[in-house]
Structure 1
């Protein structure tokens, strides 16, 4: 089984979506089940409704899960396994106060060394701990030898015991820490691949150590993905709008295009424009670069435009809020200067839903209004229409084309009128009411 394990603590980051897509693809390729695990044990940081938002986003990307788990449902398992390690003397009760630990951290900082737990409580027996009234956390004893594993992208990895340390697995209030809950859940659900961001690399030896201490010997295949950077080469912050999948969707980027771009990012692919189903046929984690890719919104805009071109006219029209497939046809012409649904909708809505402002061409517009409806209905093509309307209005050049474009499109610039004429000819009564 493969899993995607987001926390409901904020908007889904594009890096998280990339992880979900890759896990889903590999699950399909390996014919394995796909688990959606909502990691909700950090109660203070959880935001109500974000779990449902995550699910809705995944549905929009056509990522289907076989099983849904809220991590808090497994809390009894987390607690029981923590006490099992305590009883087997592979873990110990720690009574160090936050203040004592902070003093140790400050000392390590002054001495310019990485903080490691002092081991002060390591010899306290379970019998002694049970007699004491004050609260305690449970720490797992650090490993006796290096933790080693192979990563698909990073190769052989090794962490010595001090890097792993004697870390907390169960808080004083009985809630598991991230690494403990994650390790137990991966074990319980027989996870075969863990594909996630490289910011989790230091967590991996801790999770392996937990499972080994519990006697779980099955190896998990790891792939730690390079972090997505912004265009300036820095880690993409959650404060950057484009890092939010929700924002991208609201801006009018298609799920198909976003998925295409995230799969393409830092990857060797047989073609540039493709669907998720096509990617399942050839995707290989080994083709990913080990270097952090830069997120380029202009590249995404280009890919989005290409996917908009691929949409059936009827579907595109519906996405823009119209029922007539001809609107979809018209919108595709406007892709010359627009690349998102929002930009297209703005162009199309201006034509069919807004009163005209002719600026300095009011007089010329009034002249055109006298003849345009009759001429447009009797013209087979734009050249015939233009020639006849020029003749009847006695207008030419800027005085003809400027007010005409505003009348037909409510915009001063845009695609060639000859391209949009055949569609607007059929829609002229809907357009004319805004003149």
Structure 2
């Protein structure tokens, strides 16, 4: 089984989505189950409704799970395993206060040495009356594991303290709960962000202490840099999957982009289903990858072009397939669904002819054209040249005044695709145009 383990503490980051995609792909390639584990143990930071939002995003991207669990439901199991470690002398109670530990950290800083917890401190403040934490006894042997992206990673015993596995309130820490649940669900491989690299040896320590012998595969994905070249933070709008969707980027395009980042792919434009055929973790670059919004826009345009007219219409919340065909024409100058929607909606929105277009006033010409358009028989099967000649003759307008005013009335803009191309699709709406002028 493979798993994706998000925390409901904020918007889903594109780095998290990338990890979810890779775990899903590997599960499908190997014929294993795909588990979503909502890691909701940090009650102070959990945001109500974020778990539902995460699941909605995963569904939107086609990352359908076989099993769904909430980590907090496993607390009894975690406590049982912690007690087992205490009984076997592999874990112990620590009564050190936060103030005491902070003072020791300051001593280490002043001495210019790395801070390390000393097991002899455990009972120094035992008589304080405060509830203790539980610490897993540090390893006397090095921890070495193979990372599918980074290669062999080695952690010496002096790099691994006796770390906390249960807090004062009886809630398990991230590393302990994670390690226990990976055992409980028999996880075979873990793909996650590079920031978890230092957590892995601690989780291996938990497994060893509990006698768990399965060798789990690990892969830690390089961080994603912002366009500035620095690590992408939550302050970067583009780091939020929800923000990208709100901007009109398609799930298929975002998926295409995240799979292709720092990767050697057999083709430029592909779907999640395509990637199931050829994706390999070993092909991913070891170095950080930079987020490129221009590249995403290019891919989004390509995925919009792949859609049929009916699908385009539905994305624009229109039932008329001809609106999708109209949108396809505007794809010449749009890369996102929002840009496309804005251009198409101008056609059906009330036209403010008093607005200056390119610094000029075409309101009088528009008023004349509206009267001319009303004289055309509804649904008249006129070809564009016939339509243009009839309206021009009826209005008496010529040159720029005619063509700019006509474009403004038909499209709500002073420039855009050739009217001769747009006209066959706009013809059913000509009478409507005359009624929506302000």
TM-score, normalising length: structure 1: 0.95
Contact 2:372–2:395 (Cα < 8 Å) also in 1: yes
- Are residue 427 (structure 1) and residue 437 (structure 2) matched? no
Instruction: Measure the CA separation in 2 of the matches of 1:179 and 1:416.
Output: 61
**Residue number among 316, 321, 325 corresponding to 1:320 in the alignment:** 316
Instruction: Measure the CA separation in 2 of the matches of 1:367 and 1:135.
Output: 84
Instruction: Measure the CA separation in 2 of the matches of 1:366 and 1:45.
Output: 59
Secondary structure of residue in 2 paired with 1:418: helix
Q: Which residue of 1 is the match for residue 133 of structure 2?
A: 137
Secondary structure of residue in 2 paired with 1:149: strand
Instruction: Report the alpha carbon displacement of residue 113 of structure 1 after superposing the two structures with TM.
Output: 2.4
User: Deviation per CA, 1:187-222, whole angstroms, max 9, x where unpaired?
Assistant: 111000000001000000000011001100110000
Contact 1:356–1:407 (Cα < 8 Å) also in 2: no
User: Deviation per CA, 1:246-280, whole angstroms, max 9, x where unpaired?
Assistant: 11111211111111111111111111111111111
Secondary structure of residue in 1 paired with 2:149: coil
Secondary structure of residue in 2 paired with 1:117: coil
**Residue number among 411, 417, 421 corresponding to 2:419 in the alignment:** 417
Contact 1:379–1:385 (Cα < 8 Å) also in 2: no
Contact 2:24–2:34 (Cα < 8 Å) also in 1: yes
Instruction: Measure the CA separation in 1 of the matches of 2:269 and 2:376.
Output: 43
Q: Structure 2 regions of 5+ residues with no counterpart?
A: none
Instruction: Report the alpha carbon displacement of residue 381 of structure 1 after superposing the two structures with TM.
Output: 3.2
Contact 2:147–2:217 (Cα < 8 Å) also in 1: yes
Secondary structure of residue in 2 paired with 1:174: coil
Instruction: Measure the CA separation in 2 of the matches of 1:98 and 1:132.
Output: 12
Q: Which residue of 2 is the match for residue 223 of structure 1?
A: 219
User: What is the correspondence of 1:332-347 to structure 2 with a 5 Å cutoff?
Assistant: 332-347=328-343
User: Deviation per CA, 1:307-336, whole angstroms, max 9, x where unpaired?
Assistant: 111112112112112110000110111112
Structure 1, 94-103 or 298-307: larger mean CA deviation: 298-307
Q: Which residue of 1 is the match for residue 173 of structure 2?
A: 177
Q: Which residue of 2 is the match for residue 262 of structure 1?
A: 258
Contact 1:273–1:306 (Cα < 8 Å) also in 2: yes
Instruction: Measure the CA separation in 2 of the matches of 1:370 and 1:353.
Output: 19
Q: Which residue of 1 is the match for residue 270 of structure 2?
A: 274
User: What is the correspondence of 1:24-423 to structure 2 with a 5 Å cutoff?
Assistant: 24-121=24-121, 133-358=129-354, 359=356, 360-374=361-375, 378=380, 380-423=382-425
Instruction: Measure the CA separation in 1 of the matches of 2:257 and 2:286.
Output: 17
Structure 1, 411-420 or 352-361: larger mean CA deviation: 352-361
Instruction: Measure the CA separation in 1 of the matches of 2:338 and 2:227.
Output: 23
Secondary structure of residue in 2 paired with 1:232: coil
Structure 1, 190-199 or 240-249: larger mean CA deviation: 240-249
Structure 1, 336-345 or 365-374: larger mean CA deviation: 365-374
Structure 1, 352-361 or 297-306: larger mean CA deviation: 352-361
TM-score, normalising length: structure 2: 0.94
Instruction: Measure the CA separation in 2 of the matches of 1:305 and 1:218.
Output: 45
Distance 1:162 1:345, change over 3 A: same
Instruction: Report the alpha carbon displacement of residue 345 of structure 1 after superposing the two structures with TM.
Output: 1.5
Contact 1:8–1:38 (Cα < 8 Å) also in 2: yes
Instruction: Measure the CA separation in 2 of the matches of 1:257 and 1:354.
Output: 33
RMSD: 1.9
Secondary structure of residue in 2 paired with 1:405: helix
Figure out how many residues of one structure are paired with residues of the other and give that number. 431
User: Deviation per CA, 1:119-176, whole angstroms, max 9, x where unpaired?
Assistant: 2245x6xxx98x9953111111111111000001100110011212111011111111
Instruction: Report the alpha carbon displacement of residue 373 of structure 1 after superposing the two structures with TM.
Output: 4.8
Instruction: Measure the CA separation in 2 of the matches of 1:427 and 1:154.
Output: 60
Instruction: Measure the CA separation in 2 of the matches of 1:91 and 1:431.
Output: 77
Instruction: Measure the CA separation in 1 of the matches of 2:184 and 2:316.
Output: 45
Instruction: Measure the CA separation in 1 of the matches of 2:286 and 2:301.
Output: 29
Secondary structure of residue in 2 paired with 1:235: coil
Instruction: Measure the CA separation in 2 of the matches of 1:232 and 1:133.
Output: 50
